[in-house]
Amino acid sequence: MKGYNIFRNDRVGKPGGGVLLAVKQHIKCSEILNKTVGKNEIIAIEIATQSLKSVLIASIYVPPTAKIHTNIFNELYNLNNNCIVVGDLNATLYNMGSRKTNARGRQLQEVINEGYINCIDDDSTTFEKNDYEEKLDWILASQLLHSLISNFETHPIIGTLSGHKPLTFDIPIGTEPKPALSRLSLNFKVANWPKFRNKLNEQLMLWNKNRRINSDSVWLLA
């Protein structure tokens, strides 16, 4: 993706899958966690901000055949207590717009009940395919960042393959730009040109002398 730094955790042994975060190149950021545990795929980065020292952004995918590795939320929070976690958790909660609560939904509810992280309170479905609609994708944030999030939107599906709807929101944290690269600047007006010419002439004389020696040396092999 042109203009973005890409951070990814590719699925091992399969041509597709995994999780990815794309950050505009002018934003100062670094990867701090990249792992797969219990089939939960995780990638996390830290972004330098103006209003806070830094913010952790993580993307998680939990397949429908796996349990949520709930310890990962605590691990991310311990890395940076200003954190936002997004992803397809395949978790459904009846009180958040789903038709029923599944096992991963109960796990997610337990994490939320611990109080250090909250989910965006929106009951819009995030997945739609054929006649099936469900809320599978989640945005969770630590208490301070959760209070700053606004303009949350669930958008129509892009394309026909994934079935997942894009989610967007605003948060006024002011990202820190990368420092500009220093450029080498030469002032040719202050150069000692007579000394430069003398040095250049000396090197040319040595080069010519070596060239004559090499050209006069001929080896004949019978």
- pLDDT tens per residue, the chain (222 residues)? 789 999 999 998 787 789 999 999 999 999 999 999 999 999 999 999 988 889 999 999 999 999 999 999 999 999 999 999 999 999 999 988 888 999 999 999 999 999 999 998 788 888 888 888 889 999 999 999 999 998 888 888 887 677 898 899 898 888 766 665 555 555 666 667 677 677 777 777 776 666 554 444 444 443
Sequence-distant (6+) residues with CB within 8 A of 158 are 166
> Any idea which fold 4-170 has?
Deoxyribonuclease I; Chain A (3.60.10)
Distance CA 213, CA 196 (A): 26
Across the beta sheet with 83-88, the strand order is 29-37, 40-48, 54-61, 83-88, 137-142, 117-119
Residue 146's Cα: distance from chain center in Å? 20
Q: Which two tokens stand for residue 75?
A: 């691990």
Sequence spans of domains, the chain: 4-170
Question: pTM higher than 0.85, yes or no?
Answer: no
- Single-letter amino acid code for the residue at 134: E
